[in-house]
């Protein structure tokens, strides 16, 4: 199965980007193009999920999956935090910030997993994209709760008020776009979607290739430029996703999800955020070192998940069934 | 010839996500405005970085504000405690402006 | 019909953007991506119009429509100017600048109307895109004529020469692109277009969705940040398009256009520019406050037209027939 | 050690569409060059703005020009009358340059 | 045939851009969009070439074509250098820098030629895209060798080490992307390509139109702003591509390439780089004036090749057969 | 009131492809960091240019570095010989900084 994955153009473009950055090529994707692709991808998966839910209707599974997703995002940072402090040797502020990343999710890992699983006949349910949106932000709150009291208030700077933080968390651009496109998909339905389908459906995998090329470059550059990674942190950046993936897989199977959906729940649990959470942490815990959390989530966990993780978590689910 | 007066030119190299914190301070000390300049890349104690990165969490900008001596001093006093934790680079220079009363 | 409009993904994406900006989400579309989409859309509608004219040939209707368009763009600023001074309480420079916006047209409103009308079986004639290009700039000249003498010359700054201004007006990027693509469509014809059709035809509606998402964000942010809007100005920003739309509809019906073309002429009359005219006014009348004209045309008239106006103007035409 | 002389560093925060007006003035007073710096966002008496806006009419830039005292003064004299109407923010500072004869 | 070319939308968009810049229109394509399109085009042609080679297998022709390409890129700068010094009156540093441009290739000229030739039933072999990648960089080395000793070392600046330069040459972004996409195409094959085909195949010609619009603008602006072009240089900027094209055509026919491949080899020989080589020259020979080499390659040779050259080189091949 | 010291603000208008050469010099004289500012367009003896150009070979940036007198002088001495050949525009100004020991 790993071989399957490794001959898929999507993964190969990621490897190409990663390789180009490692040999210090000057290949680079303009920032605006990268952002444009991520907006396109989020709109496309949101729409697709919404249409599928409009077709299939709400179900008990959906409710269970939502609960599971919320719970995972909220609780996974807790063991992560203690591992990061004890085993990783991080200061509490840094550990809290990193933990929030591992509770939250990576949209690109989700999309890549969806493509790979669908290619193997394990298509996840349409509502899983909504579950992903749900999982983006609880981990941020959870990470900040872990830091409560640990963080000396800086003189002269008023503490971020909780309502302000909650607002930031729920009005986060990617959450709004995912949820908004999901609702548009539900309202428009299959017929309403038909006219816009050529862009959002047909072009999807090709754009994903180019976006993963970009992510490969970004991940490898982050890895090269990071000076904050110690061996324990590298180990944790692989062990935590495997551990979280296993918990996600077990939970998915336990609540009776179909194999594809359970696998994608595992992928979501295993993946670590590198867009929404870093931005939130930068603002809420500026003392935490972005060099640590970006290197771990983007430099190690993300490539690990794309190349090996997805296949591993799918295998876990199939062994548990 | 036009009359000019001396004002302070405050320049802060700052992580883009932290800009709102400083803007709040600028408003608090009643400085009349600010401009955010686009920084493409850079390097420092923490290594080098480029702007073209999807996360945006590591992007940097330069905040520029022109202000009177007094307001500049008030801003510097507010920023000083977070200079290290927030990894800011703050410089203050002298410039001549016309109609200095608006700063 | 309003319900129809409100379940179209195109409009829903606009509403999503508008909503995101209202709740102060950090969702944003990179500037370069927005410009890229508008270049794509203009090239696509230009090509499409040119091909249709190549098929259908020139006609008397086309000539009448061109005359009507030119006349509307040149004359609509006149009543607008007096309304803005008397009822809106604007200074002459500001009133002249705003009036020019309402004589000119909005490309996105045109494209959205074309999609909506086509969806209802009221497809406008292909040449209407050329009429739109014709209508972009006369209003600028008209607005400046209204200001003749009203504007104190600033000492030390040479007056903008008329030839220079005319050059700027006719070499305007969007006019060149629209007219150029139109001519390319006419030269290439249906067969020549076939190889490039997949990009320009198939992807069109999807790109329009994402572009309206962007426009929703921009319009709402403009509305929130504007401090120059008074109640009379808000009323005028809705009354003027309705009035202009009615004039456009009547003229379209009077010169014997088919219902779709008459409706789109009404939409063009009703729409207000927010790209070509602001840039021209900024340079020609720097004393005019951009806060006023952008807030009115982009913050109020544009969303009003997209969500309600198009349907209203189409209904006007159908009542007049 | 290299010989340096003092020249003026002129910095103008300006609406992007108005740049050609000032460039004409720069050429008129025979200043040798200029650079336009990208401004991402800002705030002032008129509220806040972002660059990422399709209209482009509200975007701002910073015009930077290095010039001799004399030429700088000539430029400032020309800009002064339109400072308010065109909403410019003009500052002039001192900098050292090598081979100052070219400015 | 020239007429054929001149009614193709691809060429017409180039002419439109060129015209818009000549009349000093403010039409402009955002830099990020231009770069995005060039990344897309390189990925697309790389993939396509790789898939075709995967289907057809390696062949003796491929090996001969590779040798021919390498030889052309390495040797064409030599006569160019002497012509530029003797006839063009350039200083040695400038002549060396310009010569390197004419040995290397232009990706856009290649792609445009491929489209035009395919449209005439002269489709080049798939492997020619790999030959293009091979031809990008030897000319840089060759140009620098010509300058050996001519260039006074600047005090205080260590000479660029050769290994560093070689690294820069081979890790060049466009080489990596072309070769990488080519290999991905070979690994994925026709079946693996199927899912991403809609983006890379269907949209291709449309994107090429918009990209040539951009290139038309850039080329004409470069021509207008250049103050370094003398009549001899203008003559050479047309004579050198014709000469190089003839050599390429002869070589292609001599080694037994099919007419399409021979024609594209001629196009490659005739084309001049304006991305990889200028960047390399700027860094390796900063004393050379970029105004000279960009004006010649981008302002004159590029438009000449797009509008007339491709047709001429194809005709040369057909006369030689 | 916070204690400040005077440091040098070095600003270099430079062709973007040449930045690595100067960064090497910055590192060689042990200056602690630098920032690269995005320049959109400009004009000089060689005519005008815009940034939105696919070649990238003609794009310009501004390199900004804050440094002590001594290090600034060392940098200027290194740059001086290539000032003309590499078409750099170098200016040095004075600014106040807090905790000047890190520069
Ligand atoms: N004191 C200041 N320092 C720096 N930039 C300013 C200042 N005041 C205004 N600006 C800039 O100039 C723009 C227009 O200011 P205003 O005319 O006050 O609305 C603002 O959006 C800022 O980008
Ligand atoms: N006096 C100046 N002030 C600011 N920028 C300048 C000045 N002179 C030149 N430049 C910048 O340096 C670039 C090259 O100048 P030049 O070498 O004179 O062609 C110009 O395009 C400007 O961006
Ligand atoms: N001396 C300096 N001059 C100009 N910019 C600097 C300097 N030091 C640091 N920076 C900028 O600030 C960022 C963070 O620096 P640091 O905190 O030292 O890693 C760098 O990436 C640069 O963009
Ligand atoms: Na997770
Ligand atoms: Na109108
Ligand atoms: Na060549």
With a cut of 70, say whether residue C43 has pLDDT above it.
yes
C3 CB within 8 Å of a chain A CB = no
Query: Is F18 within 8 Å of E29 when comparing Cβ atoms?
Result: no
Q: Name the closest residue on chain D to residue C284, using Cα atoms.
A: D18
Spell out the domains of chain A, with CATH numbers in brackets.
2-13+30-149+160-320 (1.20.1530.20)
Distance D103 CA to ligand 3 centre (A): 30
Distance D42 CA to ligand 3 centre (A): 22
Region C225-254 average pLDDT: 95
Structure confidence at residue B47 as a pLDDT band (50, 70, 90): confident
Residue D103's pLDDT is: 79
Rounded CA-CA distance C290/C299 in Å is 12
Rounded CA-CA distance B53/F52 in Å is 20
DSSP label of B18: G
Chain D residues with beta carbon closer than 8 angstroms to that of B97: 90-92
Please name the residue that has the structure tokens 């993936």: A245
Distance C283 CA to ligand 1 centre (A): 19
With a cut of 90, say whether residue A132 has pLDDT above it.
yes
Which listed ligand is nearest to C266 at the C-alpha?
Answer: 5
| 3-state SS record for chain D | CCCEEEEEEEEEEEEHHHHHHHHHHHHHCCCCCEEEEEEEEEEECCEEEECCCCCCCCCEEEEEEEECHHHHHHHHHHHHHHCCCCCCEEEEEEEEEECHHHC
Rounded CA-CA distance D38/F61 in Å is 10
| Other beta carbons within 10 Å of A239 | 13
The phi, psi pair for E156, rounded to 5°, reads: 85, -20
Rounded CA-CA distance B57/A90 in Å is 20
Chain A residues with beta carbon closer than 8 angstroms to that of E279: 26
- Record the tokens describing residue B40, joined without a space: 């493409």
Residue C200's pLDDT is: 93
Asked if residue E256 lies in contact with residue E61, where contact means CB atoms within 8 angstroms, the answer is yes
The phi, psi pair for E8, rounded to 5°, reads: -75, 130
Residue E171's pLDDT is: 84
Q: Whose CA is nearest to atom 5 of ligand 2?
A: D34
Vertex C243 angle, CA C137 and C316, to 5°: 110
Verify whether ligand 1 is closer than 6 Å to residue B65 (CB atom): yes
Verify whether ligand 3 is closer than 6 Å to residue B60 (CB atom): yes
Distance F38 CA to ligand 2 centre (A): 14
Distance E105 CA to ligand 6 centre (A): 5
CB interface of A with B, residues 168-197, below 8 Å: none
Rounded CA-CA distance E70/E72 in Å is 6
CA proximity to D96, closest of D6, D3, D1: D6
SS3 state of residue A162: helix
C199 CB within 8 Å of a chain E CB = yes
CA proximity to D30, closest of F44, E225, A31, E83: F44
Chain F residues with beta carbon closer than 8 angstroms to that of E226: 47
| Other beta carbons within 10 Å of A235 | 14
Query: Is A199 within 8 Å of C205 when comparing Cβ atoms?
Result: yes
Rounded CA-CA distance C308/C244 in Å is 15
Q: Give the containing element (helix H, strand E) for E107.
A: helix E107-119
Rounded CA-CA distance B48/F42 in Å is 27
Asked if residue A42 lies in contact with residue A185, where contact means CB atoms within 8 angstroms, the answer is no
Please name the residue that has the structure tokens 């999800």: A257
Question: Among A31, A34, A227, whose Cβ lies nearest the Cβ of B47?
Answer: A227
Question: Among B46, B47, B54, whose Cβ lies nearest the Cβ of A214?
Answer: B54
Rounded CA-CA distance F98/F103 in Å is 10
Structure confidence at residue F101 as a pLDDT band (50, 70, 90): confident
Structure confidence at residue C298 as a pLDDT band (50, 70, 90): very high
Region D5-27 average pLDDT: 95
SS3 state of residue A8: coil
Rounded CA-CA distance D25/D76 in Å is 10
Residue A22's pLDDT is: 95
Q: What is the pLDDT of residues E120-129, one digit of tens each?
A: 999 999 999 9
Structure confidence at residue E160 as a pLDDT band (50, 70, 90): low
CA proximity to A3, closest of E15, E188, E48: E188
Question: Among A33, A168, A173, whose Cβ lies nearest the Cβ of C28?
Answer: A173
Q: What is the pLDDT of residues E173-223, one digit of tens each?
A: 888 999 999 999 999 998 888 888 889 988 899 999 999 999 999 999 988
Rounded CA-CA distance C70/C132 in Å is 9
Spell out the domains of chain D, with CATH numbers in brackets.
5-102 (3.30.70.120)
SS3 state of residue C227: coil
Residue A154's pLDDT is: 55
A214 CB within 8 Å of a chain B CB = yes
Query: Is A36 within 8 Å of C26 when comparing Cβ atoms?
Result: no
Asked if residue E101 lies in contact with residue E274, where contact means CB atoms within 8 angstroms, the answer is yes
SS3 state of residue E130: helix
Structure confidence at residue E153 as a pLDDT band (50, 70, 90): low
- Record the tokens describing residue F40, joined without a space: 């959109």
Rounded CA-CA distance A147/A98 in Å is 11
Q: Name the closest residue on chain C to residue E207, using Cα atoms.
A: C199
Structure confidence at residue A1 as a pLDDT band (50, 70, 90): low
Structure confidence at residue C159 as a pLDDT band (50, 70, 90): low
Residue A150's pLDDT is: 72
Chain D residues with beta carbon closer than 8 angstroms to that of C281: 57
Percent of chain C residues topping a pLDDT of 90: 72
With a cut of 80, say whether residue A166 has pLDDT above it.
no
- Record the tokens describing residue F24, joined without a space: 């090497």
The ipTM is: 0.93
Region E240-269 average pLDDT: 98
Query: Is D2 within 8 Å of F76 when comparing Cβ atoms?
Result: yes
Those residues whose C-beta lies under 8 Å from the C-beta of residue E254, and which sit 6 or more positions away, are: none
Residue C154's pLDDT is: 55
DSSP calls for C176-202:
HHHHHHHHHHHHHHHHHHGGGHIIIII
Question: Among E27, E202, E207, whose Cβ lies nearest the Cβ of C177?
Answer: E27
User: What is the dihedral sign for C-alpha C5, C11, C12, C17?
Assistant: negative
Residue E151's pLDDT is: 66
- Record the tokens describing residue E115, joined without a space: 């489209």
Question: Among B15, B20, B47, whose Cβ lies nearest the Cβ of A225?
Answer: B47
Which chains lie within 8 Å of chain B at 3 or more CB pairs, if any? A, D, F
Verify whether ligand 3 is closer than 6 Å to residue B5 (CB atom): no
Chain F residues with beta carbon closer than 8 angstroms to that of B60: 35
Residue C1's pLDDT is: 54
Region C298-305 average pLDDT: 96
* Model pTM score: 0.94
Percent of chain A residues topping a pLDDT of 70: 95
Asked if residue D65 lies in contact with residue B73, where contact means CB atoms within 8 angstroms, the answer is no
Residues, beta carbon < 5 Å, ion ligand 5: C 271
Distance A172 CA to ligand 4 centre (A): 17
Query: Which of the two residues, B4 and A2, has the higher pLDDT score?
Result: B4
SS3 state of residue B4: strand
Verify whether ligand 1 is closer than 6 Å to residue B35 (CB atom): yes
Region F56-82 average pLDDT: 93
Rounded CA-CA distance C57/C127 in Å is 10
DSSP label of E201: I
Q: What is the mean pLDDT of chain F?
A: 91
Query: Which of the two residues, A303 and A157, has the higher pLDDT score?
Result: A303
Question: Among B40, B43, B80, whose Cβ lies nearest the Cβ of F61?
Answer: B40
Chain F residues with beta carbon closer than 8 angstroms to that of E154: 81-82, 85
Strands D60-67, D4-15: pairing is antiparallel
Region A289-295 average pLDDT: 90
B24 CB within 8 Å of a chain D CB = no
Residue D70, burial from CB neighbour count under 10 angstroms (0-12, 13-18, 19+):
exposed
Rounded CA-CA distance D87/D14 in Å is 7
Vertex A244 angle, CA A242 and A246, to 5°: 70
Q: Give the containing element (helix H, strand E) for B62.
A: strand B60-67
Rounded CA-CA distance A94/A83 in Å is 12
Which listed ligand is nearest to A302 at the C-alpha?
Answer: 4
Query: Is C39 within 8 Å of E33 when comparing Cβ atoms?
Result: yes
Strands F34-44, D34-44: pairing is antiparallel
Q: What is the mean pLDDT of chain A?
A: 91
Those residues whose C-beta lies under 8 Å from the C-beta of residue D39, and which sit 6 or more positions away, are: B35, B36, B37, B38, D13, D51, D59, D60, D61, D62
With a cut of 80, say whether residue C161 has pLDDT above it.
no
Asked if residue C16 lies in contact with residue A47, where contact means CB atoms within 8 angstroms, the answer is no
Residue C152's pLDDT is: 60
Q: Where is average pLDDT lowest: C70-79, E284-293, F42-51?
A: F42-51
Q: How far is A90 from chain C (nearest CA, A)?
A: 30
Distance D45 CA to ligand 1 centre (A): 7
Q: How far is B23 from chain A (nearest CA, A)?
A: 12
Region C37-59 average pLDDT: 93
Q: What is the pLDDT of residues A107-121, one digit of tens each?
A: 999 999 999 999 999
CA atoms within 13 Å, Cβ hemisphere of E199: 25
Tell me the C-alpha to C-alpha distance, in Å, between residue C102 and each of C97, C106, E5: 9, 9, 42
Q: Give the containing element (helix H, strand E) for C251.
A: helix C231-254
Which listed ligand is nearest to F47 at the C-alpha?
Answer: 2
């Amino acid at each position: 199965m790993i071989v399957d994955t490794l001959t898929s153009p999507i993964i190969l473009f990621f490897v190409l980007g990663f390789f180009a950055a490692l040999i210090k090529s000057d290949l680079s994707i303009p920032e605006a193009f990268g952002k444009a692709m991520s907006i396109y991808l989020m709109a496309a998966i949101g729409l697709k999920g919404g249409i599928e839910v409009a077709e299939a209707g709400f179900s008990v599974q959906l409710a269970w999956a939502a609960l599971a997703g919320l719970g995972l995002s909220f609780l996974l940072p807790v063991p992560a935090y203690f591992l990061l402090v004890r085993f990783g040797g991080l200061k509490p502020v840094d550990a809290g910030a990193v933990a929030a990343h591992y509770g939250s999710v990576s949209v690109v890992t989700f999309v890549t997993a969806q493509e790979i699983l669908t290619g193997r006949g394990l298509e996840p349910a349409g509502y899983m994209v909504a579950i992903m949106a749900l999982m983006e932000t609880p981990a941020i709150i959870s990470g900040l709760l872990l830091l409560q009291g640990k963080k000396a208030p800086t003189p002269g700077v008023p503490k971020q008020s909780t309502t302000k933080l909650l607002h930031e968390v729920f009005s986060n651009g990617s959450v709004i776009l995912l949820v908004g496109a999901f609702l548009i998909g539900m309202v428009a339905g299959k017929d309403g979607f038909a006219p816009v389908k050529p862009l959002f459906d047909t072009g999807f995998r090709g754009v994903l290739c180019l976006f993963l090329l970009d992510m490969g470059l970004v991940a490898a550059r982050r890895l090269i430029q990071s000076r904050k990674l110690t061996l324990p942190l590298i180990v944790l950046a692989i062990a935590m996703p495997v551990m979280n993936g296993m918990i996600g897989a077990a939970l998915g199977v336990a609540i009776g999800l179909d194999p594809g959906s359970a696998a994608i729940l595992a992928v979501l649990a295993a993946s670590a955020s590198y867009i929404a959470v870093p931005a939130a942490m930068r603002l809420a815990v500026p003392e935490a070192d972005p060099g640590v959390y970006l290197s771990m989530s983007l430099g190690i966990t993300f490539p690990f998940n794309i190349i090996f993780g997805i296949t591993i978590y799918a295998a876990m689910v199939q062994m548990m069934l | 010839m036009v009359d000019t007066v001396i004002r302070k030119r405050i320049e802060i190299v700052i992580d883009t996500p932290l800009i709102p914190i400083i803007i709040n301070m600028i408003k608090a000390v009643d400085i009349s405005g600010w401009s955010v300049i686009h920084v493409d890349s850079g390097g420092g104690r923490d290594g080098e970085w480029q702007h073209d990165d999807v996360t945006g969490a590591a992007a940097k900008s330069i905040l520029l504000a022109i202000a009177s001596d007094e307001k500049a001093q008030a801003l510097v006093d507010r920023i000083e405690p977070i200079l290290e934790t927030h990894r800011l680079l703050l410089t203050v220079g002298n410039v001549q402006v016309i109609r200095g009363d608006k700063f």
